[in-house]
Amino acid sequence: MSIRERLSGNEAVATAMKQINPDVVAAYPITPSTEIPQYFSNFVANGSVTTEFVPVESEHSAISACIGASAAGSRVMSATSSQGLALMFEMLYIASGLRLPIVLIVANRALSAPINIHNDHSDSMGVRDAGFIQLYCENNQEAYDNTVMAVKIAEKAKLPVMVCYDGFITSHSVENITLMENEEIQKFVGTYKPEEYLLDEKRNISMGPLDLQKYYYEHRKDIADAMRDAKDIIKEVSEEFAKVTGRKYELYEKYKLDDAEIGIVVLNSTAGTAKDVVDSLREKNIKAGLLKPRAFRPLPYNEIPNELKHLKALAILDKSDSVNGYCGPLFSEITSAMYSSNVHVNTVNYIYGLGGFDVKTDDILEVYNNLQNIAKTGKVDKTTYYLELEDGGEK
């Protein structure tokens, strides 16, 4: 039986963690993810979980403790944001390189400098190649559901997973959501039984030894292969989840895209805003659509281009900037995938919302208006726009 609740995104995720009851949670507080370990420490204190909670002195120590606990054979979770994720950078590669199924919640927040505590995707995009599966969430329900699924995905793929959602917009906003029963979640995630772990008395192994050229090369390819294989694992776990809850998740979501002439690709909460704009344009008989990636790692590089090939014009929206003088990371990767699939659609990139800059329906409408013009003329004046900014200054 499902449970109806009103929870913030952070509280929903902490509740999922409580119901999962991991063996170890190690965390250090940083806005806007602070509430997650705060809520969870209360669950530990009142006996709602049997988890060993490890309060540490930094985010680097938090992920280090997670690595040690996971290597020892524990089911492990943590949470962070922004500079905290950046401070973990060195250890993220170790977590994935050791094939440890750690689940890391990331309440997306801008990176300094200047100091900014509000939302964009520069933190998780900055570590997109660290070997973590990355799942992105539009709202509180998706954050809760993906947290539950992430445990099973990580353990099947033998790769760590980031569950990413927008700081403050999702993390602190209260929404109606549907929770699973504790027994349902326990049955769904099952008992963690790692094949190899350091405290296995029957089998002596080592983790993290020196790996010279040939062996290192082979092991890095193994990680790349595991990430490719994770696409099928994500779909498999999502289908199992749908059978239990009735909530079906794919690698990406299409919204009125199949017959669309113009469309955008966008992550997380902005997809909700864009859906409202799509609805308003459809009422005017303008064939607008949307694609929202759920999995960015692994990137559905074959599937997404096939969903976009019929469009007359496309905009890919990035809530982060690669600072490469060309485009944002989502645009770069999806257009590369389109080219490799021989899909040629006039496509532009919009950098938007950096540091929590408000993105309203009027702003998204501006994007669609530009796409209508591109669709009519077949001309792209420039590749990259900074939404709501002109000549480097505020409109």
For each of the chain's 395 residues, which pLDDT tens digit applies? Answer: 689 999 999 999 999 999 999 999 999 999 999 999 999 999 999 999 999 999 999 999 999 999 999 999 999 999 999 999 999 999 999 999 999 999 999 999 999 999 999 999 999 999 999 999 999 999 999 999 999 999 999 999 999 999 999 999 999 999 999 999 999 999 999 999 999 999 999 999 999 889 999 999 999 999 999 999 999 999 999 999 999 999 999 999 999 999 999 999 999 999 999 999 999 999 999 999 999 999 999 999 999 999 999 999 999 999 999 999 999 999 999 999 999 999 999 999 999 999 999 999 999 999 999 999 999 999 999 999 999 985 443 33
Residue ranges of the chain assigned to CATH 3.40.50.920: 252-394
- Residue 209: its pLDDT value, please? 87
What is the distance between the alpha carbons of residues 267 and 296, in angstroms, rounded to a whole number? 9
Q: What is the dihedral of CA 262, 268, 274, 279, to 10 degrees?
A: 90
* 3-state secondary structure string across 79-107: EECHHHHHHCHHHHHHHHHCCCCCEEEEE
Smallest CA-to-CA distance from 328 within 269, 383, 380, 379 is with 383
Top-level CATH class of 3-245?
A: alpha beta
What is the distance between the alpha carbons of residues 265 and 292, in angstroms, rounded to a whole number? 6
What is the distance between the alpha carbons of residues 137 and 267, in angstroms, rounded to a whole number? 8
What is the distance between the alpha carbons of residues 389 and 395, in angstroms, rounded to a whole number? 6
Strands 174-179 and 24-27: unpaired
189 Cβ contact partners less than 8 Å away, ≥ 6 residues apart: 20, 148, 151, 152
The greatest distance separating any two alpha carbons of the chain, rounded to the nearest whole angstrom, comes to: 69
Q: Does domain 252-394 have CATH number 3.40.50.920?
A: yes
pTM: 0.97
- Residue 392: its pLDDT value, please? 41
Residue recorded with tokens 């099952």:
190
232-238 LR contacts (CB < 8 Å, sep 24+): 233/153, 233/156, 233/157, 234/133, 234/135, 234/149, 234/153, 234/295, 234/298, 236/156, 237/149, 237/152, 237/153, 237/156, 238/149
DSSP structure class, residue 199: T
How many CB atoms lie under 10 A from the CB of residue 208? 10
CB 58 within 8 A of CB 26: no
What is the distance between the alpha carbons of residues 84 and 318, in angstroms, rounded to a whole number? 21
- Residue 20: its pLDDT value, please? 98
* 281 sits in which H/E element: helix 270-283
Residue 185, CA distances (Å) to 18, 41, 152, 175, 248 in order = 10, 20, 11, 21, 16
CB 327 within 8 A of CB 383: yes
CB 73 within 8 A of CB 198: yes
E-assigned strands of 99-249?
A: 103-108, 133-136, 161-166, 174-179
CB 118 within 8 A of CB 110: yes
- Residue 395: its pLDDT value, please? 34
Structure tokens at 290: 């949307």
- Residue 160: its pLDDT value, please? 98
Residue ranges of the chain assigned to CATH 3.40.50.970: 3-245
- Residue 1: its pLDDT value, please? 66
